[in-house]
Chains A and B, each alone.
Chain A
Amino acid sequence: MSTERATASPPRESVEPLDQGRGARIGLAVLRIGIGLLWIQNSGWKTPPNFGQDSGTGLFRFTTYAVDYPVFPPFSWLIEHVVLPNFTVFGYLTLLVEVSLGAFLVVGLATRFWALVGIAQSSAIALSVLNAPNEFPWTYYLMIVAHIVILTSALGRTVGLDGLLRPRWRQSPSRVARLMLRAS
């Protein structure tokens, strides 16, 4: 019996390594660049200076969904009492975050940091619109999962600037270089 159990659960060292081949690296780069392009497209309909506040459209409409179709009541309270009264500031902040997510993920710079930001932003969007009519919840779950893969696999090191710059940062004694090593 004990022999059978030993055979059924192999020792930790024998775990098969992930595929490191060219195809796998290209596929992972496609994932990172594809997600970056989605953020780039998503920043296209956030239009300053009022972000749809005047006409009840655009970012303003989607933000009010958090109050009209609540997913998580504390988040709805935050939107109603903090975000909506300061909507222009929130609009610019959202635009800058999504522009940066697109720009940095596409070129693969500080990728782990931006993957974390992507998880936070995708979660915030999910908490706003999951219960709204005509929304497809899988979209947001898939975005969160994709960012988790980018974060845990450090995908900027594959066909990205992180892979190019990390050897230089490693040689540099500066605090910025150490920070970038952690962020990549």
Chain B
Amino acid sequence: MTAVPNNPDGRVRRAGYGLSAAAAVSILFLLAPSNDAVRLILIGAVAAVILLILAVLGALSARTGQPVLYLATGLLALAAAVLQLIQFGRDTNWIGGNGSTVAWLAGLGIGFSALWYASHSARRSD
């Protein structure tokens, strides 16, 4: 048990599971009442589906340890963030979110992309 924190692959894996869990838990904001006191992130039905895909892909990345899966998960989240940034506040808003949705998806995208870098550089140095 104590060896895990010093094992680079183990730490990346734990971070991958952590980000995946965060993506999954954030789907609960779908149920949040529409007041700013509790709704930190605006999550609609489409955003919930995207987050579910990110959570499954992220967990799969952590389980297999494949850098390319981390990268795919990160790029998917970043693409969704960019699409949401372009569309929110306009008539067409496929994801149905706002700036908070952009920020959350961007955070997940940055996180998974950083895990790709971490696992990729660990393999190169082996």
Contact residues of A with B, CB < 8 Å? 36-41, 43-49, 95, 98-100, 102-104, 106-107, 109, 161, 164-165, 167-168, 171-172
Contact = CB atoms under 8 A, between A and B. Distances in A.
B15 A161 contact: yes
Contact of A109 (B89, B114, B121): B114
A98 B98 CA distance: 13
Interface of B: 8, 11-12, 15, 19, 36, 39-42, 85, 88-90, 98-104, 106-108, 110-111, 114-115, 117-118, 121-122, 125
Contacts of A109: 110-111, 114
A47 B11 contact: no
A102 B89 contact: no
B101 to A, nearest CB: 8
Nearest to B15: A164
B41 A40 contact: yes
A167 B12 CA distance: 13
A164 B118 CA distance: 8
Give the one of B88, B101, B110 with max A CB within 10 A.
Answer: B110
Nearest to A160: B15
Nearest to A34: B40
A44 B42 contact: yes
